[in-house]
Amino acid sequence: MCELACSLEKASEFNPRKSLIKVTLVGMPEIPVPLLLDTCDYCQGDPECVKFCAPEALLWKEMKEAPVRPPVSRAKDIAEAWFASVNR
Ligand code: SF4
């Protein structure tokens, strides 16, 4: 849903390939982990992806500055590290 909401907001079409948020499936059973692309602008402080995240996996809070984002090519490694950290 977050990928669809983002692609509609940013590309005016329902196309997850054009979404600026990517959900990576990690582990077994698979856990969906959302990651933002560098081009995400947080929808100028009113993120569409958060509004449509039914399981409330995404949260929005005000920040003084945008956090550093890792390259998307590292998405799977980061998601797997997170998964391992919560399953100790
Ligand atoms: S906050 Fe970023 S990922 Fe979410 S809908 Fe907006 S541009 Fe897309």
The DSSP annotation for the chain comes to -HHHHHHHHHHSS--GGG-SEEEEEETTTTEEEEEE-TT--GGGG--HHHHT-TT--------SSPPP---GGGHHHHHHHHHHHHT-
Q: Tell me, what's the pLDDT at 11?
A: 97
Mutation test of ligand 1: which of 10, 35, 72 has the most ligand atoms closer than 8 Å to its C-beta? 10
Q: Whose CA is nearest to atom 8 of ligand 1?
A: 6
- State which residues form the domain around 55: 2-86
Q: How many domains does the chain have?
A: 1
In the reported structure, the alpha carbon of residue 67 is separated from the centroid of ligand 1 by a whole-number distance in angstroms of 14
Model confidence band, residue 26 (pLDDT cutoffs 50, 70, 90):
confident
Look up the pTM and report it.
Answer: 0.80
Q: Which residues line ligand 1 (CB under 6 A)?
A: 5-6, 9-10, 20-21, 36, 40-43, 47-49
| pLDDT tens digits for range 44-87 | 999 999 999 988 889 999 888 877 777 767 777 877 887 788 87
